[in-house]
C-alpha cells in the first residue's frame, strides 16, 4: 500500500511577552495597478459597497493609475517618456547610426485615454472612488522600466503625472470649459509603485522631492514591518509567499500567480474545474499569509492586483473571497496605503522594532465566537499517513492513521473527487457508479481535502486509473500531483531582508 505523508501547517503560533507595547491592529492593504476601464472600477466599488451594506465590513482599495490613461489618444504627443534617448534632428526616426528607438512624442507601453467621452467616464468613476474613501496613487505614465533612469528622468516622469492628474484638460489642450477635474487635493497624492517594480538609485530622491510618502515597488518577507528608506519615504513591499502544498514561492500579486499557473497557455484552455482550482489556490495562499501575520507579529498584509481579468477573472474572485473572510475579523483593518502610513507615522522606532519581534501581548478573543478555532484560524500541525489505495477493486477511499488522523477526517473537511478534471462526488469515498460511468483508460483521478468555511485546500493527490479485474479499477503507483506533501511555510520563503 502506497501512503502519502502530509504536514498541514496553518499560521504561526503567537508567543506572549510582557512588554509595554500594545498589540497593533492587523492591517490588510489591497491595491490595483491600472485604472483604465470604468467597468472594472465599478466592479471594485460595487464589491466595497456591498461589503459595507450587507456585512458592515469596511474595505478600502488603493489604485495605482498610469498617467497616460488621463490623456486622450488624440493628444498623446503631449507625453515625452524618459525611456529613450532624445531623437537627433538628422535622424528623427532612428535610422542609420541613430538610436533604434528615440524619444519621440506619444510613446507608451500602455494605452492612452481614448476619446474625450472615455476620459470623462473615467474621471467620474475615479471621483466616486475618492469620495468613498479609496485612494488614487501613481504608477508613473507610460509603464516603462525605469531601472536605469536618473533622478532627473524620474522627476520628469513625476512632473508629467502630477500635471495630468491636477490639470487634465490643460495638459491635453482640451477646450471644454466644464471638462471634469479629478477631485483630489494635491496633498492626498501620496504613493507610488514603479512599473515592473523597477527602481533606480535616483528614484528615491525624486520621490522625496515630489512629496511622496511611500513607495510600494519592492518585495520582502511575509513578516516584514515597513521602514522608511534613507530619504524618509515609507517602504511598502509586496510579500514573497510560500504556496501551500508546494515548495514554490510567489509574489503577492495576481500577475505572478498568472505566470505560475501557466499564463496564456492555461487561460486558452481554462475550464470550470481548473478555474476553481486556481482560484482556491490563491485563496489558500493569501489566507495562509494572513493567518501567519494575524497570529504572529501582525506585519501588514500586502496584496497587489491589476485592473485586468487574468484567467477570466479567477484572481479577482479569489481576492473578493479573501476580503470577505478577513476584513470583518477582530482587530483587522482593510485600509488604503496612506491610512497605513498615517498609523506608522505615529509609531516610534522602538515600538516598530517591538512589532517586528512580536513583543506584545498575544491575541485574546473577547468572546467564544472570536476564538481562532471558531474563525478557522487556529494553527494546526497534523501528522498522519494518508492512503487511498482501493479498499477493493470496487471501493476506493481515504484512510488516515497516526496521532493526528482525526484532524484530517474532521467534519469541517470536505473531500472532493474528480476524474479527468470533472467532479465525481464528495466524501471519504468516491461514488463508484459515477466514476465508472466516466471511466477512460489512463484518466487521472484526483482527490482534494478542503477545510473550513473558506474551503482552504490542505491536501491534493492524483493518480492514473486503469481497468482491473471483475469490472473494477486499479490505481497507478505514481502520485501525479506533488502537492501530496504539504508544507505551508518552507524555510526558503524566509530570506534575509535587503
Q: pLDDT-derived band of residue 170, with 50, 70 and 90 as boundaries? A: very high
If asked whether residues 404 and 345 sit together in one domain, one would say: no
pLDDT of 78 over the 90 cut: yes
If asked whether residues 105 and 164 sit together in one domain, one would say: yes
Q: Using a pLDDT cut of 70, give the percent of the chain over it.
A: 74
Supply the pLDDT for residue 471.
59
Mean pLDDT, residues 267-289 taken together: 91
If asked whether residues 410 and 285 sit together in one domain, one would say: no
Task: Report strand pairing: 422-426 vs 413-419.
Answer: antiparallel
C-alpha cell at 27: 492591517
Mean pLDDT, residues 136-140 taken together: 97
pLDDT of 53 over the 70 cut: yes
List Cβ neighbours of 420 (8 Å cut-off, separation of 6 or more): 438, 440, 443, 444
CATH code, domain with 432: 2.60.40
Supply the pLDDT for residue 385.
47
Q: pLDDT-derived band of residue 194, with 50, 70 and 90 as boundaries? A: very high
If asked whether residues 271 and 137 sit together in one domain, one would say: yes
Nearest-angstrom CA–CA distance, 152 and 249:
36
Q: Do you know the residue count of the chain?
A: 498
CA of 32: how far to CAs of 45, 139, 261, 319, 456, in Å?
Answer: 12, 10, 20, 11, 24
Answer for the pair 266, 310: CB distance below 8 angstroms, yes or no.
no
If asked whether residues 335 and 446 sit together in one domain, one would say: no
If asked whether residues 231 and 348 sit together in one domain, one would say: yes
Q: How many CB atoms lie within 10 A of CB 114?
A: 16
Q: pLDDT-derived band of residue 248, with 50, 70 and 90 as boundaries? A: confident
Supply the pLDDT for residue 153.
94
Q: Which of 125-129, 289-293, 306-310 has the highest mean pLDDT?
A: 125-129
Supply the pLDDT for residue 365.
61
pLDDT of 368 over the 50 cut: no
pLDDT of 64 over the 60 cut: yes
CATH code, domain with 85: 3.20.20.370
If asked whether residues 430 and 289 sit together in one domain, one would say: no
Supply the pLDDT for residue 240.
93
Tell me the per-residue pLDDT of 297-348, one tens digit each, with 9 for 90 and over.
999 999 999 999 999 999 999 999 999 999 999 999 999 999 999 999 999 9
If asked whether residues 268 and 338 sit together in one domain, one would say: yes
**Structural domain that includes position 423:** 387-491
pLDDT of 2 over the 70 cut: no
pLDDT of 84 over the 80 cut: no
Q: How many CA atoms lie within 13 A of 205 on its CB side?
A: 8
Residue 376 lies in a domain: no
Return the minimum-mean-pLDDT range out of 185-194, 289-298, 347-356, 476-485: 476-485
Residue 71 lies in a domain: yes
If asked whether residues 265 and 163 sit together in one domain, one would say: yes
Of 488 and 36, more confident: 36
Residue 94 lies in a domain: yes
If asked whether residues 77 and 154 sit together in one domain, one would say: yes
Question: In which residue are the cell numbers 498615517 written?
Answer: 342
Q: What is the DSSP letter of 228?
A: B
> For residue 352, what is the enclosing H or E element?
helix 349-356
Residue 223 lies in a domain: yes
Nearest-angstrom CA–CA distance, 453 and 411:
12
Q: pLDDT-derived band of residue 118, with 50, 70 and 90 as boundaries? A: very high
Supply the pLDDT for residue 420.
79
List Cβ neighbours of 250 (8 Å cut-off, separation of 6 or more): 240, 241, 243, 256, 257, 260, 285
If asked whether residues 278 and 209 sit together in one domain, one would say: yes
Mean pLDDT, residues 279-305 taken together: 93
List Cβ neighbours of 98 (8 Å cut-off, separation of 6 or more): 87, 88, 90, 91
Residue 423, judged by CB atoms within 10 A of its CB (0-12, 13-18, 19+), counts as: middle
Q: Average pLDDT of the chain? A: 81
If asked whether residues 410 and 270 sit together in one domain, one would say: no
List Cβ neighbours of 344 (8 Å cut-off, separation of 6 or more): 226, 234, 352
CA of 59: how far to CAs of 225, 315, 484, in Å?
Answer: 21, 17, 35
**Among the listed residues 487, 35, 449, the one whose alpha carbon sits nearest the alpha carbon of residue 292:** 487
- In the chain, the number of structural domains is 2
Cα 372 to its chain centre, rounded Å, is: 23
Amino acid at each position: 500500500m502506497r501512503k502519502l505523508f502530509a504536514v498541514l501547517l496553518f499560521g504561526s503560533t503567537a508567543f506572549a511577552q510582557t512588554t509595554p507595547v500594545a498589540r497593533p491592529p492587523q492591517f490588510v492593504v489591497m491595491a490595483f495597478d491600472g485604472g483604465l476601464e470604468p467597468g472594472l472600477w465599478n466592479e471594485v466599488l460595487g464589491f466595497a459597497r456591498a461589503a459595507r451594506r450587507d456585512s458592515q465590513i469596511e474595505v478600502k482599495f488603493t489604485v495605482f493609475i498610469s498617467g497616460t490613461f488621463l490623456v486622450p489618444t488624440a493628444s498623446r504627443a503631449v507625453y515625452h517618456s524618459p525611456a529613450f534617448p532624445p531623437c537627433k534632428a538628422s535622424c528623427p526616426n532612428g535610422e542609420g547610426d541613430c538610436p533604434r528607438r528615440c524619444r519621440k512624442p506619444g510613446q507608451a507601453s500602455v494605452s492612452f485615454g481614448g476619446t474625450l467621452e472615455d476620459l470623462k467616464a473615467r474621471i467620474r468613476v475615479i471621483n466616486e472612488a475618492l469620495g468613498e474613501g479609496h485612494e488614487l496613487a501613481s504608477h508613473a505614465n507610460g509603464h516603462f522600466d525605469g531601472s536605469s533612469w536618473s533622478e532627473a528622468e524620474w522627476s520628469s516622469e513625476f512632473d508629467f503625472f502630477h500635471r495630468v492628474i491636477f490639470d487634465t484638460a490643460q495638459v491635453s489642450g482640451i477646450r471644454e470649459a466644464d471638462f471634469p477635474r479629478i477631485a483630489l487635493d494635491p496633498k492626498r497624492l501620496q504613493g507610488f509603485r514603479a512599473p515592473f517594480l523597477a527602481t533606480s538609485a535616483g528614484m528615491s530622491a525624486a520621490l522625496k522631492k515630489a512629496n511622496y510618502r511611500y513607495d510600494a515597488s519592492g518585495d520582502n518577507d511575509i513578516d516584514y514591518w515597513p521602514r522608511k528608506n534613507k530619504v524618509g519615504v515609507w517602504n511598502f513591499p509586496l510579500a514573497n509567499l510560500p504556496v501551500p502544498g508546494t515548495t514554490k514561492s510567489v509574489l503577492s500579486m495576481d500577475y505572478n500567480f498568472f505566470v505560475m499557473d501557466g499564463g496564456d497557455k492555461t487561460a486558452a484552455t481554462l475550464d470550470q474545474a481548473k478555474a476553481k482550482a486556481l482560484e482556491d489556490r490563491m485563496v489558500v495562499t493569501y489566507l495562509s499569509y494572513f493567518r501567519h501575520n494575524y497570529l504572529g507579529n501582525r506585519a501588514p498584509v500586502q496584496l497587489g492586483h491589476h485592473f485586468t481579468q487574468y484567467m477570466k477573472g479567477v484572481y479577482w474572485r479569489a481576492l473578493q473571497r479573501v476580503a470577505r473572510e478577513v476584513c470583518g475579523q477582530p482587530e483587522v483593518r482593510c485600509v488604503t496605503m496612506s491610512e497605513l502610513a498615517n498609523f506608522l507615522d505615529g509609531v516610534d522606532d522602538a515600538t516598530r522594532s517591538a512589532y517586528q519581534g512580536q513583543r506584545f501581548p498575544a491575541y485574546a478573543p473577547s468572546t467564544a465566537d472570536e476564538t481562532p478555532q471558531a474563525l478557522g484560524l487556529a494553527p494546526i500541525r497534523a501528522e498522519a499517513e494518508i492512503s487511498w489505495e482501493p479498499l477493493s477493486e470496487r471501493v476506493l477511499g481515504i484512510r488516515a492513521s497516526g496521532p493526528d488522523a482525526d484532524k484530517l477526517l474532521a467534519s469541517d473537511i470536505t473531500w472532493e473527487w474528480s476524474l479527468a478534471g470533472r467532479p465525481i462526488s464528495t466524501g471519504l469515498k468516491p461514488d463508484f457508479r459515477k466514476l465508472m460511468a466516466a471511466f477512460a483508460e489512463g484518466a487521472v483521478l484526483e482527490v482534494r481535502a478542503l477545510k473550513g468555511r473558506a474551503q482552504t485546500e490542505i491536501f491534493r493527490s492524483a493518480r492514473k486509473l486503469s481497468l482491473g479485474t471483475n469490472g473494477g479499477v486499479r490505481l497507478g503507483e505514481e502520485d501525479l500531483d506533488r502537492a501530496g506533501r504539504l508544507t505551508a511555510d518552507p524555510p526558503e520563503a524566509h530570506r534575509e531582508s535587503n
